[in-house]
Amino acid sequence: MVPLAESWDSGANAWTAQRREAYANDLGAEPSLVAVTARSNRSKSDQDPADWQPPLADARGRGCRAAA
């Protein structure tokens, strides 16, 4: 999962408004929304998945995609 701010920094700023909206509202993939604790969400912030991974090993690497 790539935060919207990271997507923007990684190239989404060059996308059309329609593509950005579709990306922001993509709920088709099962891991699009994952319930986490407030502490975990704060530690993640808007970091790139390469810089932050969930503390639980079984939650890592699920659904990551590039924003290019």
- Whole-model pTM: value is 0.50
pLDDT at residue 68 is higher than 50: no
By the 10 Å C-beta count (0-12 exposed, 13-18 middle, 19+ buried), 68 is classed as: exposed
**CB-based contact 38:7 (threshold 8 Å):** no
Q: What is the band of 11 on the pLDDT scale with cuts at 50, 70, 90?
A: very high
**Per-residue model confidence as pLDDT tens digits over 12-51:** 999 999 999 988 888 776 666 667 788 877 887 777 777 7
d(CA 54, CA 9): 21
Contact 11, 5 (CB under 8 A): no
